[in-house]
């Protein structure tokens, strides 16, 4: 299965896109508001900055005069034709260059932050701002202002800040709600992933639960269920074939064993007995694996591996003697029980022991050890296994050395039986040469629950 080079998050992608949409809506609201209120005109934006500077100058003059602050002087120099006036409580402050008479009929006419002033030279139009400084009403007028880029940027900043104060909390709440809803919205995907990870082809399964799947995800879940049904059917057919084959092999193997036993003693008889034993062990493993994978598999029971291994070594001792080998058993540590199926474990241990006897050179000894009741070691002193291919040992059809020695299925089936018992199996190098197969079992669940 090929993985994407760049992993991406559905939640992150949707959230990013929604943030872009919400920011665009916010800017659109800002533009509409400014357009309707005429706050984005160049003259209005220029007036905004001039009003702030004039307010500072008036406050610096104690609201009795306009203090010629450096920033005011610089602003006036850069804006030729600017006229301004600051009135506190209907009294124009000294320093104002625009001072209409409030008592005249042709005085200042205010309308929507703008003013119109009738003068002998004609009408003067400009912008007006009213504010409160030190608890006193202040009127600021500007006319003839030609704003530059800095004025426009400052005006937009002020306008954006004002709108952000109003809409900012709403925008933040919307983003947080969106993130939370996206996280909860994709939760069914995580549930589907957990259901898919728990699927075991060795057991009956109902597939993915479609009742809790959103409509948009249902075709994917249904396709997965259909594929799972096809895999289950194929897997079940394979298990039935293996089970039937294992059963069918038992009778001809028994006949062959009887005929070999009737043969005169000799090397040929020994080799045939060894081959029949290997075929019988492989048949037993196939049958044990099929039964463990079936729905009617027996419930594992707490058992002591010691007696099982003693019987196994005793069964193989005559064969080892005929091969000019010895096989020994030792036990150390505290005894312990494991949950297992005796027949299946016997078949698995028999395969590993048979492989060890075939690998052991003439005159050698194969050792079977049980440590702490849960660790089984089967050690030989043969050619060993190349570290480069250790990871392939338990793959189907893998064979070490001469291709004529075995089908390459034995250790794969052993690994399957071990897996069904919740145990682990690995290969270690024997000191001085050879291979040691180590099988470790977990403690008995029933004893842990007691």
Which candidate, 55, 87, 89, places its Cα nearest to that of 72? 55
190 is a domain residue: no
Looking at residue 245, its pLDDT comes to: 66
> What is the chain's alpha carbon radius of gyration, rounded to the nearest angstrom?
46
The burial class, CB within 10 Å (0-12 / 13-18 / 19+), for 185 is middle
- Regarding whether 315 and 359 lie in a shared domain, the answer is yes
Which tokens go with 293?
Answer: 């994978």
Instruction: Decide: helix, strand or coil at residue 426.
Output: strand
Looking at residue 405, its pLDDT comes to: 47
- Report the sign of the C-alpha dihedral through residues 421, 422, 423, 425, in that order: positive
Domain boundary among 297, 318, 353: 297
Which candidate, 308, 376, 298, 297, places its Cα nearest to that of 342? 308
Phi, psi of 93 (to 5 degrees): -80, 145
Which tokens go with 197?
Answer: 């990870």
- Regarding whether 416 and 316 lie in a shared domain, the answer is yes
- Regarding whether 315 and 206 lie in a shared domain, the answer is no
- Regarding whether 166 and 23 lie in a shared domain, the answer is yes
193 is a domain residue: no
- Regarding whether 308 and 277 lie in a shared domain, the answer is no
170 is a domain residue: yes
Domain boundary among 297, 327, 352: 297
- Regarding whether 175 and 33 lie in a shared domain, the answer is yes
Number of domains in the chain: 3
Which tokens go with 247?
Answer: 């059963």
292 is a domain residue: yes
- Regarding whether 169 and 26 lie in a shared domain, the answer is yes
- Regarding whether 122 and 48 lie in a shared domain, the answer is yes
407 is a domain residue: yes
Looking at residue 449, its pLDDT comes to: 41
1 is a domain residue: no
Looking at residue 310, its pLDDT comes to: 94
Q: Which helix (H) or strand (E) holds 85?
A: strand 83-88
- Regarding whether 235 and 174 lie in a shared domain, the answer is no
- Supply the DSSP string of 338-357, one letter for each residue: EEE-HHHHHHHHHHHHHHHH
Q: Would you give per-residue pLDDT tens digits along the chain (450 residues)?
A: 444 455 556 667 777 777 788 778 777 776 666 565 544 566 677 787 888 899 999 999 999 999 999 999 988 888 888 889 899 988 889 998 888 766 544 455 565 577 777 666 677 788 888 888 888 989 898 888 777 777 777 767 776 776 677 767 877 887 788 778 777 777 777 777 777 777 766 666 667 777 767 777 778 788 888 888 888 777 777 767 666 666 666 667 777 778 887 888 777 877 787 777 777 777 776 666 666 665 555 678 889 999 999 999 998 898 888 888 999 999 998 888 999 888 889 888 988 998 899 899 989 999 999 999 999 999 999 988 888 888 888 887 666 654 444 455 678 888 888 988 889 999 999 998 999 999 999 987 654 343
Structural domain that includes position 278: 201-297
Domain boundary among 118, 147, 180: 180
- Regarding whether 314 and 291 lie in a shared domain, the answer is no
55 is a domain residue: yes
Phi, psi of 331 (to 5 degrees): -135, 135
Q: Rounded CA gap, 152 and 143, in Å?
A: 16
- Regarding whether 376 and 311 lie in a shared domain, the answer is yes
- Supply the DSSP string of 22-33, one letter for each residue: HHHHHHHHHHHH
Which residues does residue 425 pair with via DSSP β-bridges, in sequence order? 439
235 is a domain residue: yes
- Regarding whether 171 and 23 lie in a shared domain, the answer is yes
């Amino acid at each position: 299965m090929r993985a994407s080079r760049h992993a991406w998050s559905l939640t992150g992608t949707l959230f990013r896109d929604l943030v872009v949409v919400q920011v665009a809506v916010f800017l659109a609201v800002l533009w509409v508001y400014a357009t309707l209120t005429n706050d984005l005109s160049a003259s209005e934006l220029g007036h905004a900055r001039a009003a702030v500077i004039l307010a500072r100058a008036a406050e610096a003059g104690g609201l009795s005069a306009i203090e010629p602050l450096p920033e005011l002087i610089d602003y006036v120099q850069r804006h030729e034709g600017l006229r301004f006036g600051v009135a506190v409580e209907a009294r124009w402050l000294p320093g104002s260059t625009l001072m209409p008479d409030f008592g005249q009929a042709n005085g200042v006419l205010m309308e929507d932050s703008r003013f119109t002033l009738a003068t002998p030279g004609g009408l003067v139009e400009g912008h007006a701002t009213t504010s409160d400084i030190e608890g006193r009403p202040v009127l600021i007028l500007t006319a003839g202002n030609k704003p530059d880029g800095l004025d426009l940027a400052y005006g937009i900043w002020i306008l954006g800040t004002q709108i952000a104060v109003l809409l900012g909390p709403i925008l933040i709440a919307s983003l947080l709600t969106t993130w939370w809803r996206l996280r909860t919205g994709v939760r069914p995907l995580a549930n589907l992933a957990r259901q898919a990870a728990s699927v075991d082809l060795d057991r009956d399964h109902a597939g993915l639960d479609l009742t809790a799947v959103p409509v948009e995800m249902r075709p994917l879940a249904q396709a997965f269920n259909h594929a799972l049904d096809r895999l289950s059917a194929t897997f079940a057919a394979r298990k039935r074939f293996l089970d039937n084959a294992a059963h069918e092999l038992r009778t001809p193997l028994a006949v062959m064993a009887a005929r070999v036993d009737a043969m005169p003693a000799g090397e040929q008889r020994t080799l045939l007995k060894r081959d029949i034993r290997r075929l019988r062990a492989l048949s037993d493993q196939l049958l044990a694996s099929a039964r463990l994978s079936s729905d009617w598999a027996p419930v594992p029971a707490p058992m002591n591996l010691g007696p099982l291994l003693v019987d196994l070594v005793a069964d193989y001792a005559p064969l080892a003697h005929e091969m000019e080998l010895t096989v020994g058993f030792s036990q150390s540590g505290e005894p312990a029980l494991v949950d297992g199926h005796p027949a299946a474990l016997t078949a698995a241990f028999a395969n590993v022991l048979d492989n060890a006897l075939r690998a052991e050179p003439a005159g050698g000894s194969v050792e079977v050890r049980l440590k702490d009741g849960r660790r089984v070691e089967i050690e030989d002193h043969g050619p060993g296994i190349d570290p480069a291919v250790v990871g392939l040992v338990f793959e189907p059809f893998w064979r070490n050395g001469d291709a004529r020695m075995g089908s390459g299925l034995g250790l794969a089936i052993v690994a399957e039986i071990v897996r069904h018992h919740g145990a682990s199996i690995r290969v270690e190098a024997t000191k001085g040469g050879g291979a040691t197969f180590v099988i470790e079992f977990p403690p008995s669940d029933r004893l842990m629950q007691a």
